[in-house]
Amino acid sequence: MSDLKIQENIELKNFCTFAIGGPAKFFTVWKQHDEIVDILKWAKENHEQIFVFGGGSNLLFSDAGFNGLVIRNMTSQIELENRLLKVDSGLSWVRLFNFLKDKDVYGLEAFSGLPGSIGGAAYGNAGCHGTEMKDVLEKVEYVDTDTLEFHELEAKDIGFNYRHSEFKEYPERIITRVWFRLSDNPDDNTGDPHEFAEFRKAKQPQGLTTGSFFKNPEGDYAGRLIESSGMKGRKVGGIQTSDKHANFFLNDGTGTEQDVLELKDTIIQAVKEKEGIELEPEVQIIGSRLN
Ligand SMILES: Cc1cc2nc3c(=O)[nH]c(=O)nc-3n(C[C@H](O)[C@H](O)[C@H](O)COP(=O)(O)OP(=O)(O)OC[C@H]3O[C@@H](n4cnc5c(N)ncnc54)[C@H](O)[C@@H]3O)c2cc1C
């Protein structure tokens, strides 16, 4: 068994972009691909439930923390061979683009500026500027937390949908690696990263946020619906919908899980009454149900 470092009583608010969340009973950083097996064995031997995350940019931890082992994925190996890019799931987009900057391969440009890890993006089928993970992924490897065995799945077998993958239905599967098939033809690029950076600067607020809180309903935008229901700028405790983009919840630094949940419910109710549409959160609410 590798030299695992398991910490106790670690504040989760320090590991997510919302800066919300109480203490994890146990906490560890997963750094090398195979190390996950030892981490899972430790959890089994100690009868602790687990929770895995990457960049913490699309989740809401509970104020009560997590009564088990929280695993922060910081695996980061990258290999490029014949335009097939193999990356560990904990790799951040920032590091990936840094690696690619002097390589003549194209296809992932749309994701420049996306916070978080590659594994988190695959889990939620993240999408940017018209390109989704399902469009660029070749296959994914996961480890089954029950059997501790590794398996591969082709992109077509992952049940990708708008902000959805089948990994959401199989919590025992942890994404360990991802493969992208890239192109050597510059015409296959998915856009201009500089334009995307300008777009984000112009349209999205800065601060403690998880990005879009709700999914866009088909044919419409959650931000437009929130605004038309009079909820733009609405505040509960330390959490407010942004004046710049109504679908972004901003934490002024004092916000709590309960503030977020109350604002969420108020908005769902208001939009339902005004527009007859029930908004659904995109953000993964980890919640006290696990405690
Ligand atoms: C400013 C801002 C802008 C954003 N813009 C966009 C955007 O344009 N498009 C978009 O789609 N999203 C956007 N997001 C949301 C978020 O960045 C993405 O959803 C991102 O892909 C989440 O990755 P993560 O590593 O941070 O996931 P985390 O928040 O760490 O985790 C999210 C969920 O994924 C699960 N998960 C993470 N890693 C794994 C793994 N290896 N195996 C199994 N499950 C895993 C976690 O358990 C959790 O349920 C934005 C967020 C912010 C803060």
Q: How many CA atoms lie within 13 A of 151 on its CB side?
A: 16
Q: Locate CATH 3.30.43.10 in the chain.
A: 7-73
70 lines ligand 1 (CB under 6 A): no
The per-residue pLDDT for range 101-154, each reduced to its tens digit, is: 999 999 999 999 999 999 999 999 999 999 999 999 999 999 999 999 999 999
Q: Which residue has the tokens 């992952």?
A: 158
Strands (DSSP E) contained in 155-253 are: 173-181, 235-236, 239-241, 249-251
pTM listed for this prediction: 0.97
Residue 198 makes CB contacts below 8 A (sequence gap 6+) with none
- Is 287 a residue whose pLDDT tops 80? no
Percent of the chain with pLDDT over 90: 97
Biggest CA pair distance of the chain:
57
209 lines ligand 1 (CB under 6 A): yes
**DSSP state letters, 115-152:** -SBHHHHHHTT-EETTEEHHHHEEEEEEEETTT--EEE
Residue 289's pLDDT is what?
53
DSSP run (H or E) holding 257: helix 257-275
Fold classification of 205-281 is 3.90.78
Average pLDDT over residues 206-218: 97
Among the four given CATH numbers 3.40.50.670, 3.90.340.10, 1.20.120.530, 3.30.465.10, the one describing domain 78-193: 3.30.465.10
**Are the CB atoms for 114 and 121 separated by under 8 Å?**
yes
Q: Locate CATH 3.90.78.10 in the chain.
A: 205-281
Q: Locate CATH 3.30.465.10 in the chain.
A: 78-193
Q: Facing residues of 122 across strands?
A: none
Residue 89's pLDDT is what?
98
Residue 152's pLDDT is what?
98
Told to judge if 282 belongs to the known catalytic residues of this protein, a careful annotator would answer yes
Which atom of ligand 1 is the closest one to the Cα of 163? 11
Told to judge if 163 belongs to the known catalytic residues of this protein, a careful annotator would answer yes
Residue 3's pLDDT is what?
81
Say how far residue 133 (Cα) sits from the centre of its chain: 12
**Are the CB atoms for 20 and 264 separated by under 8 Å?**
no
Average pLDDT over residues 253-266: 97
- In this structure, which residue's CA is closest to atom 13 in ligand 1? 211
Say how far residue 267 (Cα) sits from the centre of its chain: 22
Told to judge if 2 belongs to the known catalytic residues of this protein, a careful annotator would answer no
Average pLDDT over residues 64-86: 97
As a whole number of angstroms, the distance between CA 155 and CA 157 comes to 5
**Are the CB atoms for 59 and 21 separated by under 8 Å?**
no
- In this structure, which residue's CA is closest to atom 7 in ligand 1? 128
Among the four given CATH numbers 3.30.43.10, 3.30.1330.180, 3.40.50.970, 2.40.30.10, the one describing domain 7-73: 3.30.43.10
Q: By three-state DSSP, how is residue 60 classified?
A: strand
